[in-house]
Structure 1
């Protein structure tokens, strides 16, 4: 049964808040040194896999998903954590969001998809916003962090492309998390040894557990419940709120300032993605 408009709005808002909270939790752990990037990633992936397996049943989770999607998921999660060693919360979320969309549109172009003039305009506008954000200057984000978050966005874009049209998205996600957890165990321990990363504090462990079990696992489950009742354009537009919510969380929990550069880049990127999403909806309706 189609949920009421208010219920659908609340579910969608809760999912977007959960996605933004991942950025806040990662930045809280990295900025304060409560957890290192690799331990945060490992705990996040393992706890997310456990919760999702309990939702769909461990046996079904182990049979679902693919190693390629698990690898893309791990690329996203590891690069995401490493990027937040240096990036501000809102800036990281904005770069991530932009690269996810650019990756998915770029794949469509590579497959021969023809873009309408409004979609080209939206893509160019988003790219201009990203260039503006990364231009050298006092307010520019650290290049290494920006490149790492770009890699995270590409990883999440690949993961999203591989999961498009899934008939049982929560089951698929559970399987991919399970596979990503095995890969994370193989990658994280050598990385921990080479980096000399310290063990996380109780607070850092709590941030990572919350990111994995609550804002990732439960966040995705809630989002898929809402997604069944949202059009493609409404789903894309809903995700426009994530960088703004993340930036607001950074202001509250980390005392991060809002810069003019960030505000201009946000306006350009989100306007571009909204234009491309609405143009696609009109073209397919």
Structure 2
């Protein structure tokens, strides 16, 4: 796959993830739905859509599934919903995506992978951006909601790692 195609797909994915954060934050702050009900609706509707896709393709499910992956997905969805009750969409997305990346990069390094020079520079720039965001003078996000979002991001990272290949 060409670099341009990879960049375009990555950009579209990031726009979809950002849109998800904006829509979820709006639903949780501008409607009367609670975080638990919102999580349930997200998980059930996602399961139904996946079931329909499999049925429309006339395909058998690819495997038996995994309880660990299911738990990781639930922890992500619940942590995400409860965190967005107290976080702005931008702060929540930054914490979420950062936690996903730290989880996945950390696992790679733990498994023996090594970062190339440009990857290491990118990692340093990302951490630098996070530090600048949290410098005194800017309002720090609520600790409880931030921890929930970091846990949600780590769970998403675990879910993604378990679904590779």
TM value normalised by structure 2:
0.82
The DSSP-based 3-state class of the residue aligned with 1:60 is: coil
Kept after mapping to 2: 8 A contact 1:102/1:123: no
Could you tell me how far apart the structure 1 residues matched to 2:36 and 2:62 are?
Answer: 24
1:213-237 CA distances to partner (integer Å, 9 max, x unpaired)?
xxxxxxxxxxxxxxxxxxxxxxxxx
Could you tell me how far apart the structure 2 residues matched to 1:92 and 1:119 are?
Answer: 24
Matched, 1:149 2:149: yes
Per residue, is there more helix in 1 or in 2?
1
1:94-114 CA distances to partner (integer Å, 9 max, x unpaired)?
111111111111001111222
- What residue number does 1:129 align with? 129
Matched, 1:45 2:40: no
Could you tell me how far apart the structure 1 residues matched to 2:15 and 2:118 are?
Answer: 29
Could you tell me how far apart the structure 2 residues matched to 1:118 and 1:59 are?
Answer: 41
Deviation of residue 135 (structure 1)?
4.2
Deviation of residue 116 (structure 1)?
2.9
The DSSP-based 3-state class of the residue aligned with 1:50 is: helix
- What residue number does 1:88 align with? 88
1:229-255 CA distances to partner (integer Å, 9 max, x unpaired)?
xxxxxxxxxxxxxxxxxxxxxxxxxxx
Deviation of residue 163 (structure 1)?
1.2
The DSSP-based 3-state class of the residue aligned with 2:60 is: helix
Shift in CA distance, 121/14, structure 1 to aligned 2, threshold 3 Å? closer
Shift in CA distance, 32/156, structure 1 to aligned 2, threshold 3 Å? same
Shift in CA distance, 95/51, structure 1 to aligned 2, threshold 3 Å? same
Could you tell me how far apart the structure 2 residues matched to 1:101 and 1:12 are?
Answer: 14
CA RMSD of aligned residues (A): 2.7
1:189-228 CA distances to partner (integer Å, 9 max, x unpaired)?
xxxxxxxxxxxxxxxxxxxxxxxxxxxxxxxxxxxxxxxx
Aligned 1:52-131 pairs, distance under 5 A: 52-57=50-55, 60-61=60-61, 63-131=63-131
Structure 1 spans left out of the alignment, 5+ residues: 166-285
Deviation of residue 65 (structure 1)?
2.6
Matched, 1:21 2:19: yes
Structure 2 spans left out of the alignment, 5+ residues: none
Could you tell me how far apart the structure 1 residues matched to 2:96 and 2:157 are?
Answer: 9
Aligned 1:1-285 pairs, distance under 5 A: 9=8, 15-57=13-55, 60-61=60-61, 63-165=63-165
Shift in CA distance, 17/126, structure 1 to aligned 2, threshold 3 Å? closer
